[in-house]
Amino acid sequence: MKGLLKYLKEYKKESILAPVFKMLEASFELLVPLVIGAMINVGIANMDKNYILSMGGILVFLGVIGLICSVTAQYYAAKAATGFAAKLRYAMFTHIQAFSYEKLDTIGTSTLITRMTSDINQVQNGVNMFLRLFLRSPFIVIGAVIMAFYVDVKAALVFAVAIPILSLVVFGIVFANIPLYKKVQDRLDKVTLATRETLNGIRVIRAFRKESDEIQEFDEKNKTLTGIQLLAGRVSALLNPLTYVIINLALVVLLYTGAFRVDVGGIKQGDVVSLVNYMSQILVELVKLANLIVTLTKAMACASRIENVMQIEEGMGEDVDYYEHHDHHDVHSAVSSGCEAETTKTTNVSGKEKDIPNTSHTLSGKSKDAFIQFQNVSFTYKQASEEALSDMNFSVEKGQTIGIIGGTGSGKSTLVQLIPRLYDVTKGSVMVKGKNVKDYDLDELRKMIGYVPQKAALFKGTIRDNICFGKSDALDDAIEEAILVAQAKEFIEKKEEGLDTPVEQGGRNLSGGQRQRLTIARALVRRPQVLILDDSCSALDYATDVALRDGLSKLSYHPTVFLVSQRTISIQDADQIIVLDDGEIVGIGKHEVLLRECEVYREIYDSQYKEEAESHES
């Protein structure tokens, strides 16, 4: 929680004034029993109406002043709490935006949503309650005991016995609930995750008729959460009856002994009433204090979870293993030192070592003219037991189109995601324009790259908004060129509002092909030096796919294109094709050479040829 208090710094005035006004309210409240006691002892005992009316006026005055202090305190406490929560929520959202893919994968989206919403709300409530009650309640409890001794020392001994017992019960119940509330938040994460997965995959669930299974799974998680909440609720439910029993027993003793002492003249009637009032005040404030501690317990648990996220390092971490064994001079020297052999040893599907087929000197080894280089690159996902990519070595010249193909799970997407540093390499280095991507400022690096992911992600707004997401100050000429090359112009012009056509969340009012073409246009509008199409043409028909590739080849700024695809027909015209199998390069070369010399590529081509040929003829 300490790490989060910096977001409360701008509300120092409110954080001080809120408890100050609450203490003033409490001070006026402690005077009320004395006034009532005096009214009984003097006014009623002597039938002095003027005295009664004057004491009544004082009570009204104390009530009005107390109300003003209370409202003022509530205002400042609410302003500080909501302002604190707003700044914390903004800071957390900004912090999450800087996370790498790896960190987002590790933490999980559902828990981040819970911490951004439910947890911050709990912390906001905790700050609000703390400012209002943390000083007020102890002040009234201690003040009421002191005032009780001021009224009558012997009668106040009942307070001296009852208060410790009451405190033991209250705080015992509260501290028993602390671990339970932590478990509640953890189970809430799981329920949120189940809800999110179900809503995101509702179409798949319905297609496979798995509604009943999902309902059952959700019900189990919900029952677990409900069970822990009920247990915490039952423990909390003991608070009121036990405290009221103790207080009422103390009141019985107080009234019983007070009655005898009134008869013998040891104490006045008004003093007994004052003591009863102080006892009631103590009961109310201890219950409030207990509820405050429960709220603060929840807030502290939530604050700890938020702080855990805020303490995660932003951006991409440095590859310690790599930099322990290489310095920047060595890396740049290696880039300019010439070329390695034209073939690289690897292992084919059958487990036999073979030379990777290669027709381009540039694509294998190192070259001083290389625009992008992979040097001994390996990558392992966090908490994975095996490498996703192993010993990647190739280089690419500026303006080349590189096709990447392989079976599902072969590492195609992982490979291209290393270029913009969406993930960091585990070993080796990725070089862009002769410079390690880790040495680039991320803004500088990613301004050079247009990346189109597998899943077409669109945002609520208009078509223009989504295209300009790639470059906010894009001119109409750039937008026109982007939608033309992306083959999106035809369907946009058919819309009545054209570029100002509304796009629903996730682009759900557009077809899959339309969504993909808009995401490609979004990448093209920034005129990137490197364009990565990560299997982002899968929803396009053959004719549109061909037109798109033809448009890319005619771009005036000649970007280096990485074209990831499952279809050989989409990449067969590429300058070079990289064939992946189980995270390893098993073939590099042009389409014709790979057909002759790469078994994996030939198998993929043969499995698709008939279908592609029929599609081409139609």
Over 70: is that where the pLDDT of 42 sits?
yes
Segment 527-533 shows an average pLDDT of 92
For the chain, give the mean pLDDT: 82
Domain of 416 in residue numbering reads as 356-447+530-602
Query: What pLDDT, on the 0 to 100 scale, is given for residue 61?
Result: 93
Tracing tokens 């303490």 back to the chain, one arrives at 311
Q: What residues does 429 pair with on adjacent strands?
A: 375
| pLDDT value at residue 65 | 93
DSSP 499: G
Beta bridge pairs of residue 561:
401, 531
pLDDT of residue 316: 58
Residue 56 domain-assigned? yes
Same domain, 432 and 475: no
Residue 414 lies in a domain: yes
Q: Which of 274, 289, 310 is the last residue of a domain?
A: 310
Q: Does one domain contain both 169 and 300? A: yes
Q: Is 152 found in the same domain as 218? A: yes
Tell me what percent of the residues of the chain surpass a pLDDT of 90.
Answer: 23
pLDDT at 362: 41
Q: Would strands 584-589 and 576-581 be described as parallel, antiparallel, or unpaired? A: antiparallel
In CATH, what number is assigned to the domain containing residue 456? 3.40.50.300
Q: Based on the domain organization, do 118 and 232 belong to the same domain?
A: yes
Q: Sorting pLDDT into bands at 50, 70 and 90, what band is 369?
A: low
Domain tally, the chain: 3
Same domain, 151 and 268: yes
CA–CA dist 492, 508 (Å, integer): 16
Q: Where does the pLDDT of residue 336 fall: very low under 50, low under 70, confident under 90, or very high at 90 and above?
A: very low
Q: Quick check: 615 pLDDT over 60? A: no
- Residues 6+ away with beta carbon under 8 Å from 565: 403, 404, 405, 533, 535, 537, 538, 571
In a domain? residue 21:
yes
Residue 343 belongs to some domain of the structure: no
Rounded to an integer, the average pLDDT of 586-590 is 91
Same domain, 73 and 154: yes
Distances (CA, A) of 603 to 86, 351, 354, 572, 584: 56, 16, 17, 14, 16
Residue 141 lies in a domain: yes
Whether 341 maps to a domain, the answer reads no
Q: What is the pLDDT confidence band of residue 314, given thresholds at 50, 70 and 90?
A: low
Q: Within a domain: residue 7?
A: yes
**Listed residues 255, 285, 310: the one ending a domain:** 310
Q: Among the three residues 481, 499, 527, which one is the final residue of a domain in this structure?
A: 527
What pLDDT does 397 receive? 92
Report whether 390 contacts 378 (CB < 8 A). Answer: yes
Same domain, yes or no: 471 and 511: yes
90: confidence class by pLDDT, cuts 50, 70, 90: very high
Residue 350: inside a domain: no
The helix or strand, by DSSP H or E, that contains position 585, with its residue range, turns out to be strand 584-589
d(CA 487, CA 482): 9
Q: Are residues 498 and 544 in the same domain?
A: no
String of DSSP letters for 510-533: S-HHHHHHHHHHHHHTT--SEEEE
Same domain, 249 and 204: yes
Q: Are 478 and 379 members of one domain?
A: no
Contact 488, 521 (CB under 8 A): yes
